[in-house]
Amino acid sequence: MRVLVAMSGGVDSSVAAHLLHRDGHEVVGVTLRLWGGPADRGCCSVADVDDARRVADRIGVDHHVFDFAEAFETHVVAPYVADHVAGRTPNPCIECNRHVKFDLLVARAAALGFDAVATGHHARVVVRPDGTRRVGRGLDPAKDQSYVLHMLTGHVLDRLVFPVGDRTKADVRAIAAAAGLRTAAKPDSQDVCFIAGDGGRRTFLGERIPLRPARIVDLDGVEVGSVEAVQLVTLGQRRGLGLAGAAAGRYVVDVDVAGATVVVGPPEATLVREVVLGDPVWADGPPADGERVLVQCSAHGRVAVARVAHHPGAVALRWEEPQRRVAPGQSVVCYDADAPDEVLGGGTAR
């Protein structure tokens, strides 16, 4: 099999390439050039490109760099800024997966005659008895990345391989060390690749949009504080609001960017019975009305139980027990209640 391996410069993708080459596949490595701004780090830095190239040399496979910077700006960076302007909390890594890594890259690989695309994600491709495919959880629960891949469906999954999905992170590092790969002890990237560490979101957004101060009010409308930039506040936030004393136990329950107002309340004020999904994507058709599903609202968040509710033009999830409201813009991912490791699909919270 001829496989194009997306090599980010990290240990997981390095081992993915090594395992496929060891097993006799024709492997070509590719690193995506996504961001050339001041951050220049994460999976986009010059150092990571060099690490990927050196690993490819060590394995004995060709390595190339694809420049997807224009698509990255259009589908990831610009929406990230627009979401903050609208008071939403974006997840840029998911949008990068959706539009770049598993859209443009898979299409490019097909055009170049590759049989499959492989990445170092800790996930699996599950083939069900009827032949349909779903994203499955990776073996290592601490590193499982099925949440950030929930939007992948059959036509893409047909061409994907996740070589490290059935291994623990410790096993991956041991394989890398045994193979003499320079990334064996390299720390995992935890950052948004286009956000510089020294200035963070405030500097990045402040260079692109006017950041607006806002007042903080309680549920009765009484002003209890202020923030310097309403666009940096997210639903459910507790820290970083500058509230002291009793007010410190309050959480953000509403963000009104246009009105420059942040509303805070006690923990119980964050609880809701339902979340409505925007732009849902399902692996093999939407769950039936009333179907019981397992739901995860962050990359390694606690799983909660909900029932699917179909509304005109929308799909909602009704929690069996009240849950904290999910910040608009964040992904809400459904897993099969009868096969808890399999992704049904998901969408973004409205």
Can you spell out the DSSP letters for 81-149? Answer: HHHHHHT----HHHHHIIIIIIIIHHHHHHHTT-SEEE---SEEEEEPTTS-EEEEE-S-TTT--SGGG
Interatomic CA distance for residues 51 and 55, integer angstroms: 6
Query: What 8-state DSSP symbol labels residue 241?
Result: S
Q: What is the 3-state secondary structure (H, E, C) of 151-203?
A: CCCHHHHCCEECCCCCCCHHHHHHHHHHCCCCCCCCCCCCCCCCCCCCCHHHH
> Whole-angstrom Cα distance, residue 71 to residue 304?
35
pLDDT confidence of residue 332: 98
- Whether the CB-CB separation of 39 and 198 falls below 8 Å is answered with no
CB-based contacts of 240, cutoff 8 Å, min separation 6? none
Q: What structural domains does the chain harbor?
A: 2-120+163-178 (3.40.50.620), 211-265 (2.30.30), 271-349 (2.40.30.10)
Q: Which pLDDT belongs to residue 328?
A: 96
Interval 245-299: pLDDT, tens = 666 679 999 999 999 999 999 999 999 999 999 999 999 899 999 999 999 999 9
Quick one: angle between helices 11-22 and 46-59, nearest 10? 20
Q: Is 96 a catalytic residue?
A: yes
Task: Tell me the per-residue pLDDT of 167-194, one tens digit each, with 9 for 90 and over.
Answer: 999 999 999 999 999 999 999 876 788 8
Averaged over successive runs of 10 residues, the pLDDT of the chain (350 residues) comes to 97 98 98 74 73 98 96 96 96 95 96 98 95 96 97 93 98 98 91 79 94 96 95 94 76 96 96 96 94 96 96 93 96 98 97
Active site residue 334: no
pLDDT value for 247 = 61
Q: HSE-up of 303 (CA within 13 Å, CB side)?
A: 16
User: CB of 329 within 8 A of CB of 83?
Assistant: yes
Of 43, 44, 93, 96, the active-site residue reads 96
Beta partners for 335? 294, 343
* Residue of 43, 44, 93, 193 marked catalytic: 193
Report the C-alpha gap between 95 and 91 in whole angstroms: 7
